């Protein structure tokens, strides 16, 4: 009996149904057991072939990928990797698929139609293997719907944050972040900085979705954005995000330095910058995701006196990112996803100014302000 990972490829393009299996041939642990040209055929082949993982195109005739995904999550509980077009429409559909329960996604290169899929071969193979080993989701996250927000009345004076909360997140991140942000109030006293492993062209739309479903102000970060209380900045795809002090306030800075841990954006880049700039005013959070990006940076925030939190592995879609920091002793507290918002609010309560020392009454020596025994 073969112990290979059985994969079904569903795509309406005959070329993609040929190229995707070819890109996976070099990995001996993966076997493409079948292909399908639309969702109706794909569902029949899931029953027939019992794949461990499905790769899914979203734009197909008869039954599209979104409807097929709904059927899979209801009936089959097979992990799905979306193979997405690198377009605005593709990004929108992909984020919808992730909200419906897709495990993860890869983007087709711009020249995929000419037969060049090798640049995503390693990424696709890795995500297939992680999806197969993870199995069905450990926790079903109810993603809040978008809601119409009232126009914000920004205060005349900037509302400076009590803490800087740096979040690193990857596989499973869109739903987990949307849930977390929906639990935080508009007057949240911290500023949130997020590195979500996501390609260029997806993060702006992702930030808009987060903004629509939460009371926070959420935007894709730009260089020079002020770090304000109640604001969340999402690092753009293919950029790194750092922070720095400026005369007019603390700001985000975007840089084009090389990849770190194979990623740009990298969680470690953000965490190291936050540790150096804010020291004990920093809060680091590692959430669901695969790999080890962020573990070393979390150690730097811990060494600087900051707070270090990890999402509990049992509430992660993939737990290797938080677990890598936990195993190194860099995490001060492990928190379930449902309790994370409350924990962040507690950690970001502004420090109370120390009370002025009480005035010493005339004729009483300092240090002698306690009660005196009366003479009888």
Give catalytic residue positions.
170, 197, 293
Q: Which run of H or of E encompasses 49?
A: helix 39-49
Output 93-97 pairs: Cβ under 8 A, ≥24 positions apart.
Answer: 93/58, 93/59, 93/65, 93/66, 94/58, 94/202, 95/174, 95/202, 95/205, 95/206, 95/209, 96/66, 97/56, 97/58, 97/65, 97/66, 97/69
Q: Which of 104, 186, 88 is nearest to 137 (CA)?
A: 104
Three-class DSSP labels, 147-173: CCCCCCCCCCCCCCCCCEEEEEECCCH
Sheet with strand 191-196: strands edge to edge: 217-220, 231-234, 191-196, 164-169, 282-286, 307-311, 333-335
Q: Which of 295, 362, 351 is nearest to 322 (CA)?
A: 295
Q: How far apart are CA 210 and CA 53, in angstroms?
A: 28
Q: Which residues touch 20 (CB under 8 Å, ≥6 apart)?
A: 9, 11, 32, 55, 83, 117, 124
Q: How far apart are CA 114 and CA 99, in angstroms?
A: 31
Cα torsion angle, 158, 162, 164, 167, sign: negative
Q: How far apart are CA 139 and CA 134, in angstroms?
A: 12
Q: Which of 182, 180, 185 is nearest to 309 (CA)?
A: 180
Q: Which of 176, 133, 155, 164 is nearest to 335 (CA)?
A: 176
Q: How many helices (H) and strands (E) does the chain have?
A: 11, 14
């Amino acid at each position: 009996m073969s112990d290979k990972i059985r994969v079904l490829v569903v795509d309406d393009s005959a070329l993609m149904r040929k190229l995707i299996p070819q890109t996976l041939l070099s990995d001996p642990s993966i076997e493409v057991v079948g292909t399908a040209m639309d969702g109706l055929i794909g569902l029949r082949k899931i029953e027939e072939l019992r794949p461990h993982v499905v790769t899914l195109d979203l734009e197909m005739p008869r039954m599209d990928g979104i409807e097929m995904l709904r059927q899979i999550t209801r009936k089959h509980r097979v992990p799905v990797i979306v193979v997405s077009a690198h377009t605005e429409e593709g990004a929108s559909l992909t984020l919808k698929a992730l909200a419906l329960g897709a495990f993860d996604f890869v983007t087709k290169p711009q020249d995929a139609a000419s037969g060049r899929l090798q640049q995503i071969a390693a990424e696709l193979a890795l995500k297939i293997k992680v999806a197969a080993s993870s199995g069905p989701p450990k926790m079903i996250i109810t993603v809040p719907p978008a809601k119409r927000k009232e126009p914000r009345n920004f205060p005349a004076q900037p509302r400076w944050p009590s803490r800087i909360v740096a979040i690193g997140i990857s596989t499973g991140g869109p739903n987990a972040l949307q849930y977390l942000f929906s639990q935080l109030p508009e007057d949240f006293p911290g500023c949130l900085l997020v590195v979500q492993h996501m390609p260029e062209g997806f993060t702006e739309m992702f930030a808009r979705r987060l903004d629509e479903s939460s009371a926070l102000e959420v935007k894709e970060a730009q260089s020079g954005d002020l770090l304000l209380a109640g604001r969340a900045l999402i690092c753009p795809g293919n950029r790194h995000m750092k922070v720095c002090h400026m005369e007019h306030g603390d700001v985000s800075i975007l840089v084009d330095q090389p990849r770190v841990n194979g990623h740009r954006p990298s969680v470690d880049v953000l965490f190291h910058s936050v540790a150096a700039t804010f020291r004990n005013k920093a809060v680091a959070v590692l959430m669901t995701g695969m790999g080890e990006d962020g573990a070393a940076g979390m150690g730097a925030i811990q060494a600087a006196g900051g707070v270090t939190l990890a999402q509990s592995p049992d509430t992660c879609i993939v737990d290797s990112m938080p677990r890598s920091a936990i195993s190194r002793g860099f995490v001060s507290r492990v928190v379930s996803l449902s309790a994370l918002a409350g924990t962040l609010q507690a950690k970001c309560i502004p420090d109370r100014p120390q009370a002025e020392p009480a005035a010493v009454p005339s004729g009483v020596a300092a240090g002698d302000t306690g009660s005196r025994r009366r003479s009888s």
